[in-house]
Amino acid sequence: MGHLAKPSFRGNDSEMSRWEIWIATCVAAALVGIAPATAKAADPQPGLATTVLETLSVKGRAPKTGYSRDQFGQAWADVDHNGCDTRNDILKRDLIEIMYKTGTKNCVVATGTLMDRYSGETINFVRGNITSMEVQIDHVVALSNAWQTGAFKLTADQRKALANDPMNLFAVKGSLNQQKSDADAATWLPPLKSFRCKYVAQQIAVKAKYSLWVVPPEKAAMVAILAKCPTQKVPVS
């Protein structure tokens, strides 16, 4: 009986090397196939103030030429046609322990208590020629600032909506509203530091809603504030 020939591997160091390379390649491919995917950078999350801020255009401030309060319609108009002007709507929303002026169908706020967002103080509101000034309604994005960052391009109806939009209005301590004037986030922030993230997010939401832009120092200030609260979301109303 003849003998079966044994497989020959002779002289074939180069062939062995090729087999080894082929096997190693197959193993590597298999390992790659089962290896965990490399972690990707987190996608921007909708609703985050930082995300919305990045959607706003950054430009220089436009001239104030042509600006007046009248460009935003009648002050405190009844835009929602509920029988109450915007000022009283905001007082009703932001105050507690409210008493209404008689004969106004629970519309005109006579007295109430404000837990002030900007200072953290508790302020008693009493309607009157002088006492009413203790609590004022602040435009979160000041109308003059809005005008110089794009509102001059809006229609009259859009500007009226901006001036009376509850998203852009807070009842606040009167002296702080006066102090702020038409400043943006680069030149004025609420003294109560714990509210600054929400304040900046509110401004971003308003600017996004009305297609307004931010100026470079304003954006830098917003970025610095939001770095301390990266999960802060913009309000939706």
- Give 87-104 pLDDT, tens digit per residue: 999 999 999 999 999 999
Structural domain including 123 reads: 49-59+72-226
Q: Please, which residues bridge with residue 114 across strands?
A: 95, 123
Total H helices, total E strands in the chain: 8, 5
Higher pLDDT, 8 or 122: 122
Helix crossing, 216-226 with 196-209: angle to 10°?
130
User: d(Cα 220, Cα 185) in Å, to the nearest integer?
Assistant: 9
Flag whether pLDDT at 20 surpasses 70: no
In a domain, 121, yes or no: yes
Element (H, E) at 124: strand 122-126
Q: How many CB atoms lie within 10 A of CB 30?
A: 10
Q: How many domains does the chain fold into?
A: 1
Confidence of residue 237 (pLDDT cuts 50, 70, 90): confident
pLDDT, the chain, mean: 88
In a domain, 65, yes or no: no
In a domain, 111, yes or no: yes
Flag whether pLDDT at 27 surpasses 70: no
In a domain, 20, yes or no: no
In a domain, 113, yes or no: yes
In a domain, 27, yes or no: no
In a domain, 187, yes or no: yes
In a domain, 25, yes or no: no
Residues 6+ apart with CB under 8 A from 11: none
Mean pLDDT (whole number) for 44-63? 92
pTM: 0.81
